[in-house]
Structure 1
Amino acid sequence: MPANLGDRLREVRKRRGKTQNELARESGVSVSLIRKLEQGEREDARLETVRRLAVSLGVPTMRLAAESAEDGASAATLDQWATVRRALTAPLGDVAELDEPPTLEGVRDALSAAVPLFSGDRIADLRVVLPALLRDAGTVAQLDPEGHTVRMRLLQLTGWLLTQTRQFEAAEWCLGAALDGSADRLQGASTVNTMCWLLLRQGKLREARELATQWADDMEPRLSRATPDELGAWGWLLLRLSAAAVRDNRAEEAEDALRLAHSAAAALGREFAPGGDFLRAFGPVTVVLKRTENAMVVDRPDVVLKLAAKVPAAGFRPTSNNRNRHLLDVANAYARTRQYGQAVDTLVSIRDAAPEWLPNQRCARDILGRIMAGRRTLTGEMRSLADTVGLPV
C-alpha cells in the first residue's frame, strides 16, 4: 500500500469505482477534505473521519490509515508536566548519601493518599505531588522488594494519567516499565489494559487488537472456577479488544468480544473493583457503558440514547474511567440528533463533576463545535463550555 493516507485513499476509492463526490455523499465527509487528502494538502485526518471513509469503501480502517492518533499534548501541558517527566527517568541517587532516606511505610502511605487524586481527576494536585513521590518510590525500590511493588503501582497510575493528558511518549515509558516489573499476571493484565487504551488513543488499532487478543487468550479463565479478579482482568481485555475492532470496521469481532465480556460480567453479577482499584472496576454496568461507546463509534446515536437510559444514575460514582466518558457519548448522541439543549446540559454535568478532566477531551471540543454550528446564537453556558474545552468562539 502507498505510504500516506491520501494515496491510500485514492487507490482504494478507484478500486471501488467511486468518485470523490460519491464517497463524500456516502461517508458524510466533505468532498473538499477528500480532495485535500488525495492531493496531499492535508497529510492526516482524525480516526473518526478515516473510519467513515473506510466504512463507505468497505475496508478495515487500518487499510487507509496506519496511524491516525488523537492530538498529543499541547505545548502548555508539556511545560506544566516537565518536572513529572524528569522525575520519571532521573537516575537514582546513592541512598547512603541521603540525609533522610524515604521509608517504605511513608511512600506506601503517600501513594494511598494520592490514589483519590487519580480517581478524582485532580490533575493540578497530581502535578505537584508526583515528582517527589516518584523519586521516593524509586529510592525505596532499591531498599526493599516491597518497595518495588509500590513503585510499579505508581508507574501504572502515572502512565494512566499521562495517557489521559495525551502525553503519549511518557505514558508508553511508564506503562512499559510497570509491565516489565509486574509481580504477577493479574497486575500485568491491569497494566496491559491501560496500554491498550494508550494504543487506541494513538490510533494504533492493529497493535491494540493484537495485544488485547494475546492477553485475553492467555488470561481466559473457566467461568465456573474463576476468581472475581480473574473475571475482571479478562473482561477488561475483551472490552479493549472490542473497542479496537469496532474502530477498525470489524463489527463481528467487536460483538464477539463484547459478548464474552458480558459473560464475564454476568458471572461476577455486580460491579467489582479488586482492592478498591478504580482502574480495574468491572461488571455488568461497565459492559453496557462500552457497548454504548461502540454504538457511538458506528454512528448510532439512537442506540446510544436507548442504552444510556438503562445505565443506573445512582450508586455509580462518576469518574473519568467510566461514567464521565460514557456521558460524552450521550452528549454526542444528543448533538447528532439535534437535541442541543440536552447535549449542553450533559456537557455541563461532566464539567461540574470533572472540571480538570474535560479540557483534555478532544471529543468534547468536537461535540461542542457541532452544537455551536447548529445554533444561530450562543447561550452563556455554551460560551462558558467553549472556554473550558479550549474551543474558539
Structure 2
Amino acid sequence: MNIGENLARKRRRAGLTQEGLAERSGVSISVIRKLERGDRDSASLPTLRSLATALGVTTVELFRPTPTQLQPPIDDRSDLYLIRRALQPARTADGDLITLADDVQPGADDVADSVREISGLFRDSDYAGAVAALPTAISHARAAVAEADEPSRPGVWGQLAQVYQTAALVLIQLRKDDLAYHALGLAMDAGRRAGDDVLTASVVCSEGWLLTRQARFDEAERAALVTAEAIEPRMSRSPASQVAVWGWLNLGAAAAATRNNRMDVAADSLRRAHASAHVAAGHVPPRVAHWTTFAPAVVAMREVELAMVVGDAGRAAEVARTVPPGARPAVTYQRFRLDVAAAALDRRRRDEALAVLLRLRESAPEWLRYQRYAQRLVERLLHARSRAVQPELRALADFLNIA
C-alpha cells in the first residue's frame, strides 16, 4: 500500500470526503486527489502533518505501510574506502581485529589532540578533511585503548567514543546512513566501556538526529525520552555537561514529536529544554565532547525549526529575532539560518531569503553543498521568479547543482 492508498483508507475510516478533508486540514483538494490517485507519491512534511492532524493520527501512521523503491547505492569505494575499513575491520574467528601495521604508538594525550582536531574539522564543515583524518584517528584511539593501563583506560575509551561519534556525524551529513548507524553503535559501546553515562547519552542525541532524518519519528522520540529519564540531572547539583545533554535529548524528542503530530509531548519536552538551557548557559566544556554546549539560544533556534515544521512562518520569524548572530553550535546555527530563509520565503520576502542563502554560501560553503533543504529553497526561489533570474540566484543554483 502506498501513501495515497493509506491516506484514502484513513480518510474513509474518519468518515470524510476528499472535500471534507481539504476543508478540515487546509490542504488543497487537488493535492489530496493527486496523492490518492497515485499521481504524487509523496508530499512535504507540513502537508502530511496537516493531513494527520485533520485525521487524528500521527504523521508516522500516514507513512505506514509505505514501501520505497531503493535506488542503486552510490559507489563510495574510493572516497570512503579508508574510513569504512577503519569502522568495519576484518575479524578472525577468535574475534580479533585485523589492523594495518602502524609504527606509531599513541598515548592518551595524542588521542585527545586527534579528537580536538577531528571535532574542529566537523565544526568547520570540512567533511573532506574529516574523512581523510578519521581513519588514522580511529586506529590510533583503538591502539591507545589496547596499550592503556587500567586506571587510564576509561578515559581513553571515552576519547574513542568521541572519535566514533564524530565519524557518525560526518557520515550523516554525507548521507551515508548505514555506516553512520554502525559508527553510532561503536560509540555507544565505547561510552559504556568508559563508564560515562552522559557521553553515551550524547551519542543517543546523534542517533536521534539520524532517525528523525529518516522519518522514524516515534523511535527517535522514544529513545530520547527514555535516555533523558535515565540521566535526569539535579539542576542545582549535577555537572553542567549532564544538564546540557539532558537538554539536547529533550530537544530531540520535541523535534521528533512535532513532526509526528504529538504536540503535547513536544511542548513538555521544550519546557524541560528551556529549564536546562538556563542552568547550562555559559558552560564551557572542560574537554572536547559533542552536545555539551547548551544555552537559551539553542532552544530558540530549535523552536524556529519546529515553527516551520507546523507551517507558522510568523512565529518562526518572531522567535528568530531573539537568536544572537553567530550563536553556537555552528552547525545548529547554520541549520537555523535555513529556517529563517524558509520563513522569509513563506512570507513572500524572496530577496531576504536569497540574502540569507548567499551569506551561508559565503560562511559555510562545504556544509551548504550537502543540504537538501537549501536545494529546495533555491528551487522555490527559481520557480517564484516571473522575470529573468538574477545572476546571484543563478550562481547559487549552479553551486548546489540545481538545473
Give me the TM-score of the superposition, normalised by structure 2: 0.86
Choose from 97, 105, 109 the match for 1:102.
Answer: 105
Contact persistence 1:348–1:385 (CA under 8 A): yes
Choose from 171, 179, 184 the match for 1:175.
Answer: 184
Choose from 293, 296, 302 the match for 2:305.
Answer: 293
**Structure 2 unaligned spans of 5+:** none
Q: CA deviation at 1:212?
A: 0.7
Secondary structure at 2:236 match in 1: coil
Using the aligned pairs only, state the percent identity.
Answer: 34
Q: CA deviation at 1:25?
A: 6.3
Give, in whole Å, the separation in 1 of the partners of 2:274 and 2:100.
54
1:118 corresponding residue in structure 2? 122
Give, in whole Å, the separation in 2 of the partners of 1:119 and 1:202.
23
Q: CA deviation at 1:310?
A: 1.1
Q: Letter of the aligned partner of 2:359 in structure 1? A: S
Contact persistence 1:8–1:64 (CA under 8 A): yes
Give, in whole Å, the separation in 2 of the partners of 1:303 and 1:96.
53
Contact persistence 1:331–1:344 (CA under 8 A): yes
1:348 corresponding residue in structure 2? 358
2:160 corresponding residue in structure 1? 151
Q: Between Structure 1 and Structure 2, how many residues are aligned?
A: 387
1:61 corresponding residue in structure 2? 59
Q: Letter of the aligned partner of 2:250 in structure 1? A: L
1:240 corresponding residue in structure 2? 252
- Pairing 1:211–2:223 present: yes
Give, in whole Å, the separation in 2 of the partners of 1:302 and 1:13.
30
> Quick check: 189-198 or 42-51, which moved more?
42-51
Choose from 128, 136, 143 the match for 1:132.
Answer: 136
Secondary structure at 2:175 match in 1: coil
Give, in whole Å, the separation in 2 of the partners of 1:224 and 1:27.
44
Give, in whole Å, the separation in 2 of the partners of 1:269 and 1:200.
26
Secondary structure at 1:116 match in 2: helix
Contact persistence 1:273–1:280 (CA under 8 A): yes
Structure-to-structure mapping, 1:295-310, within 5 angstroms:
295-310=307-322
2:379 corresponding residue in structure 1? 369
1:331 corresponding residue in structure 2? 341
Give me the TM-score of the superposition, normalised by structure 1: 0.89
2:79 corresponding residue in structure 1? 80
Contact persistence 2:18–2:29 (CA under 8 A): yes
Q: CA offsets, 1:246-291, max 9 Å, x none? A: 1111112111111111111122343654535453211111111111
- Pairing 1:17–2:27 present: no
CA shift in 2, pair 1:150/1:230, >3 Å? closer
Q: Letter of the aligned partner of 1:54 in structure 2? A: A
Choose from 151, 164, 169 the match for 1:160.
Answer: 169
Choose from 3, 6, 14 the match for 2:4.
Answer: 6
Contact persistence 1:219–1:230 (CA under 8 A): yes
Contact persistence 1:156–1:174 (CA under 8 A): yes
**Structure 1 unaligned spans of 5+:** none
CA shift in 2, pair 1:64/1:42, >3 Å? same
Q: CA deviation at 1:245?
A: 0.8
Contact persistence 1:271–1:281 (CA under 8 A): yes
CA shift in 2, pair 1:79/1:299, >3 Å? farther
Give, in whole Å, the separation in 2 of the partners of 1:25 and 1:372.
30
Q: CA offsets, 1:154-209, max 9 Å, x none? A: 00111111112211111110111111221211111111111111110111001001
Contact persistence 2:202–2:290 (CA under 8 A): no
Secondary structure at 1:324 match in 2: helix
Q: Letter of the aligned partner of 2:48 in structure 1? A: V
Q: Letter of the aligned partner of 1:386 in structure 2? A: A
Contact persistence 1:271–1:284 (CA under 8 A): no
Q: Letter of the aligned partner of 1:87 in structure 2? A: A
- Pairing 1:265–2:277 present: yes
Q: CA deviation at 1:72?
A: 9.3
Secondary structure at 2:282 match in 1: coil
Contact persistence 2:240–2:283 (CA under 8 A): no
Q: CA deviation at 1:26?
A: 5.7
Query: RMSD of aligned C-alpha atoms?
Result: 2.8
Contact persistence 1:29–1:53 (CA under 8 A): yes
CA shift in 2, pair 1:233/1:111, >3 Å? closer
> Quick check: 15-24 or 153-162, which moved more?
15-24
CA shift in 2, pair 1:247/1:214, >3 Å? same
Q: Letter of the aligned partner of 1:237 in structure 2? A: L
CA shift in 2, pair 1:97/1:391, >3 Å? closer
CA shift in 2, pair 1:81/1:383, >3 Å? farther
Q: CA deviation at 1:99?
A: 5.9
Q: Letter of the aligned partner of 2:105 in structure 1? A: P
- Pairing 1:389–2:400 present: yes
> Quick check: 266-275 or 305-314, which moved more?
266-275
Secondary structure at 1:220 match in 2: coil
CA shift in 2, pair 1:353/1:318, >3 Å? farther
Contact persistence 2:6–2:64 (CA under 8 A): no
